[in-house]
A and B are shown apart, each in its own frame.
Chain A
Amino acid sequence: MDLFMQQLVNGVTLGSLYALIAVGYTVVYGIVQLINFAHGEVFMIGAFGALGTWSYLLGESTSIWVLPIMIIGAVAASTGTAVIMERFAYRPLRHAPRLAPLITAIGVSVFLQEAVRLFYPGAKSKLPFPQIDVVTGPAFKLGGVVIQRAALFTVIALVICALLLWLFVNRTKLGRGMLAVSQDPDTARLMGINVDRIIVVAFALGAILAGVAGVAQGLQNSNIDFRIGFLAGLKAFTAAVLGGIGNIEGAVVGGLVLGVVEALVTQYTQYLPFGLSAFGGSSWKDVWTFALLILVLVFRPQGLMGARVVDRA
C-alpha cells in the first residue's frame, strides 16, 4: 500500500508539472486553434531565466527570499519569449493554411533550443540548478511515503496558479474577453474586444505558468539543459488533449491524470505476466505515454472533460 501511495505522490508531482505546462497549450489552442509546438521551449527558457536571474542578479544566494525573484525572472523570460514569438512568427500567419503555423512552430522550437544552447554560457551540457533553502532539502516522511520538498513546491505552485488563473478568466474583463474570443472570434470583435490583444494575453498566460513550471522542474531535478522542453512539451500536450483541448480545468485534470498514470505504469508494468514485464519499468514509460496519446487522439479527441473547441478531428 505504501508503494501505491508513494507512486500516487510521485504521479501527482509529475502531473502538476505537466498541468502547469499543459495550460499553455490549451489556452492558446482555445483561442487561435494553433498547436503551439514551441511551448515546451518556452518552459525550458523559463527554467533558464530562473537560473540566469539567480547566477547574475542574486549573487548565487540560496536563501528562501531569492525564490520569488527567481520566479519573476523565469516568468519574465518565458513571457517575453512567448510574446515575441506570437508577434513575429505566428501573427503574420493567422489566416494561412493550417500547415504553415505548425511548420513555423517546429522552426521556432528548433531555433529557441539552439539559441539557448549557443548563447547561454555553459548550456551545451547540463547545468546545475540552485538548491534553495526550505523548498529543497530533507524530504518529509508521512508513514512510509516520502514527499520531496520540491514536489510539495510544485503542487502548491499548481494550486495557486490554477486559482489565480480561474479568477483571472472568470472575474476580470480581459479574462471574460478571452472566453468570448474562444467561443466566437468574429462576434467578439464586433462586441469591441481587441482580438489581437486577447491572443497576446493567451500566449502570455501560458508562458507565465510555463515559467513557474520551469522553476519547479529545476528544483525537482536539480539540473536543467536545453533539451528539457521537447519531451515535457509533448507530454504536456498529451495532458492537454487528455483533459480536452481548449478547456483550462481539463488541462489541469489531464496533467494530474497523466502524471499518475505514468507513475503507476512505471511501477506496475514490471509485474505483467507472459514475459510482457520486459516492456515495463521506467525505460518504457515514455512509450506507454505516447501510446496513450495516440489512443486518446484517435478514440476520444475531445478528451476526458470535453473539448471547448469543436470539430478538430
Chain B
Amino acid sequence: MNTSTLPNGARGTTAVTVSRPSMQWYLTLAGVVLLIVGSLLSWCYDEGVLGNVSLNVNPGPIQVFMIVIAVLTLFFLLLRGGLFPVLDRLLDSARALRALGATATAFMVAVVIVIALQTSGLANADPGVFVALVGAALITWGSWSLASDPTVDPVSVHMRGWVDILVIVALLAIVLFGAAYALGQEDGTVFVLFLSVLGGVSLALARSGLFSWIRVIAQRHRQVLMLGAFAVAFLFPFTQNGSDANMSIATQVIIFATTALGLNIVVGLAGLLDLGYIAFLGAGAYVGATLSYSAFATIHWKPPFIVVMIIGACVSATLGLIIGTPTLRVSGDYLAIVTLAFGEIFRLAMFNLDGNNGPNLTRGPNGIPAIPDLEFFGFNFGDTHDIFGIPINRFGNYYFFLLVVAAIIILVFTRLNNSRIGRGWVAIREDEKAAEAMGVNTFGLKLFAFAGGAFLAGLAGTVKAHQDVSVTPDQYVFLESAFLLAAIVLGGMGTVAGVLIGATILKLLPEKLRFVSDYRLLIFGLLLVLIMRFRPEGLVASHRRQLEFHEEDTELAEHVEHAHLEATAGSEGTA
C-alpha cells in the first residue's frame, strides 16, 4: 500500500515527474477494463428492467452511463500516469478517482438491488452485472489509497487562449447534448439514474478541482462563455425535432429563469429580500392580457405589442417604486414581510377586481382567457415554421423570442453588476451604514434595484401572458415567489449562471419526475432547508458571496482578494 506514496509524493515539489505507476494504479486500470467489459455484456435476462439491459455489445442507457464513468476514470488514470502534465498540475486526480469509484460502486449495488427486487431474486441477473460490480469495486479499492497530489491555484495558471476557449466550447457542447439527451428520456427511472450519475460525475469533477479551473477560465473569457451559452440555448430547439413536450418545458424554464434573474438584482446584488416578486410578473402579465386582442380583455385599446411590453414594464416598475419606498425606513426581515404583504395585496386585488367587488379590470378568479398568439409583421407565433427542415413549433417561436428577452436581461444584469451602481449595491448588501458613510446613495440605489427588477419582470410578464394563453390570479401566489427565491438561493445569489441552473433544476425536475409530482412541494421545502443548512451560498457561488457565509475562512478571504486583484489588473491592462 505505501509504495504509492513514494513516487506520488515527489510530484508536488517539482512540477511533474513521470513516475512508474504503482500497484494501485494497475488495480484501478483493471477495474476500468472490467467495468467496460461488464457493461458491454448483458446484465439481466429480463428485458423490462431498467430500460433494456439484456443485450450483449448493445448497451442500454444505464450501461452507457457506466461506460462513460469508466472512460472518465481512465482519463484521470492517464492523467496520473503523466499523459497531460499541465492538466495534472491543475487537477487532483486521486480525489476524482475516489469519487468516481464510489459513484460507480454505489450505482452498481443499486442496479443489483433493483434487478433482485424487480425480477424476484438474483437468479435473473447475468454475469455482466457482476463483472461490472467487481470492476467498480476494484476502482474504489485501487483509488482509495492513492495519495492526493498537490495542485496549484488555477488563478496562477495561464494557458494559451485557444485552450481555454476550446474547454469552454467542449463544456457547452456537453451541456447541450446532455440536456437534449436528458429531456429525450421518457422513462422516469432512467431519468433519475441519469441525474444520479450526473451528480456523481459532477462531484468527482468538483473534487478534482476542474470546476474551480473552469470558473477561472470563465472569468477570463466572459464574452466567449456568454456567446457560447447563448448559441447553445439557440441551438436547443433544433435538437427537439418539433416535439411539443420538451419545448413547452423549455419555454417555461426560460420565463422562470428570466424572472429569477430580475429578482436576482434585488436579492442577489442589493441584498434586499423580496417575497412578493411574483406580483411584478403578474402586473406585466395582466397588462399584456388586458391590452391584448382577447375577446375578454377589459381595456379596448390595442397598441402594438412593443408598446404593450413597455407599458407592462413601466406599470411593474411603478409598483416596484411604490414597494421600494419603505426601504427608506425598513430593512431586513421587516422588508421581507412588507414585500410579502404587497404580493398578497396584489393577488387579492386581481382576484377582487371582477366587477362585483370593484371595477371590472381583471375578471376576478376567471382571469382573462383566450389571449391570441403574438404576431410581428405577419409572423404569427402560433404557426409552425421550418428552419433547415427542422420544424419549429409554437413553443419554439416563443422560446426564441424569450431567449432574446433573456439575453437583454442578462446583458443589463452583468453591465449593472460591473458598474458603479453594482458596486454600490454590493456595498449596501455587505454593510449599509458603512456604504452610506462612504457616500453611496443607499436609498436611491435600493429604489433603483426594486424598480429595475420590477421592470424586467414586467417585460417578461407581458410575453408570459401570450405564451400561457390565459392569466388568472392563482398563477401569482406567494408560493411562486418562494420558488423564484429558491431558484436564486439554490443556484447562487448574485450570479447569472447559478440562477440559470437553479431555475432549470426547479422547473425541469417536477416536469420530468411526474411520478413524484405529488411530493414535489414536500421535496421543495426540504430542499430549501437543506441548502440553507449545508450550502447557503448555492451551487455556483460567487467567491465574495461565499465569504459572506463563511466569514471565518481566512484561506477563502485571501483567495478572493487575490482573484480580485487579478481581475482589476486584467481590466486595467486592457483599458
| Distance from A283 Cβ to chain B, minimum over Cβ atoms (Å) | 5
Q: How far, in whole Å, are A111 and B333 apart by their CA atoms in the complex?
A: 21
Q: How far, in whole Å, are A113 and B479 apart by their CA atoms in the complex?
A: 12
A284 engages B357 (CB within 8 Å): yes
* Chain B: CB-nearest residue to A245: B334
A234 engages B529 (CB within 8 Å): no
Question: 0/1 per residue, A14-49, Cβ < 8 Å to B?
Answer: 000000000000000000000100000000000000
B337 engages A35 (CB within 8 Å): yes
Q: Please tell me if B575 contacts chain A, counting CB pairs below 8 Å.
A: no
- Asked if A99 meets B525 with Cβ closer than 8 Å, knowing A278-B358, A290-B344, the reply is no
A111 engages B340 (CB within 8 Å): no
A-chain residues with CB within 8 Å of residue B338 when the two chains form the complex: 293-294, 297-298
Question: 0/1 per residue, B495-519, Cβ < 8 Å to A?
Answer: 0000000000000000000000011
| Distance from B325 Cβ to chain A, minimum over Cβ atoms (Å) | 8
By the criterion of a CB under 8 Å from any partner CB, how many residues of chain A are at the interface?
46
B522 engages A93 (CB within 8 Å): no
Q: Is the interface of A mostly helix, strand, loop or mixed?
A: helix
B-chain residues with CB within 8 Å of residue A103 when the two chains form the complex: 485-486, 489, 528, 532
Question: 0/1 per residue, B226-269, Cβ < 8 Å to A?
Answer: 00000000000000000000000000000000000000000000
B-chain residues with CB within 8 Å of residue A92 when the two chains form the complex: 533
A-chain residues with CB within 8 Å of residue B521 when the two chains form the complex: 110, 113-114
Question: 0/1 per residue, B330-357, Cβ < 8 Å to A?
Answer: 1111101110111011001101100001
Q: Please tell me if B326 contacts chain A, counting CB pairs below 8 Å.
A: yes
Q: Please tell me if A142 contacts chain B, counting CB pairs below 8 Å.
A: no
Q: How far, in whole Å, are A276 and B70 apart by their CA atoms in the complex?
A: 72
B489 engages A313 (CB within 8 Å): no
Set A108, A110, A234, A293: member contacting B479, Cβ < 8 A: A110
| Distance from A99 Cβ to chain B, minimum over Cβ atoms (Å) | 6
8 A Cβ contacts from B516-549 to A = 518-519, 521-522, 524-529, 532-533, 536, 548-549
A294 engages B326 (CB within 8 Å): yes
By the criterion of a CB under 8 Å from any partner CB, how many residues of chain B are at the interface?
46
Q: How far, in whole Å, are A109 and B482 apart by their CA atoms in the complex?
A: 11
| Distance from A148 Cβ to chain B, minimum over Cβ atoms (Å) | 26
Set A98, A115, A237, A281: member contacting B522, Cβ < 8 A: A115
Q: How far, in whole Å, are A89 and B36 apart by their CA atoms in the complex?
A: 43
Q: How far, in whole Å, are A287 and B357 apart by their CA atoms in the complex?
A: 12
A-chain residues with CB within 8 Å of residue B573 when the two chains form the complex: none
- Asked if A111 meets B529 with Cβ closer than 8 Å, knowing A97-B548, A284-B348, the reply is yes
B337 engages A96 (CB within 8 Å): no
Q: How far, in whole Å, are A107 and B523 apart by their CA atoms in the complex?
A: 9
Q: Please tell me if A286 contacts chain B, counting CB pairs below 8 Å.
A: yes
B-chain residues with CB within 8 Å of residue A110 when the two chains form the complex: 479, 482, 521-522, 524-525, 528
A35 engages B333 (CB within 8 Å): yes
Residues of B within 8 A of A (CB): 271, 273, 275, 326, 329-334, 336-338, 340-342, 344-345, 348-349, 351-352, 357-359, 478-479, 482, 485-486, 489, 518-519, 521-522, 524-529, 532-533, 536, 548-549
Residues of A within 8 A of B (CB): 35, 89, 92-93, 96-104, 106-115, 118, 230, 234, 237-238, 241, 278-279, 281, 283-284, 286-287, 290-291, 293-294, 297-299, 301, 312-313
Known: A107-B532, A238-B341, A281-B357. 7 other contacts (CB 8 A): A103-B489, A104-B529, A107-B529, A284-B357, A293-B337, A297-B338, A299-B329
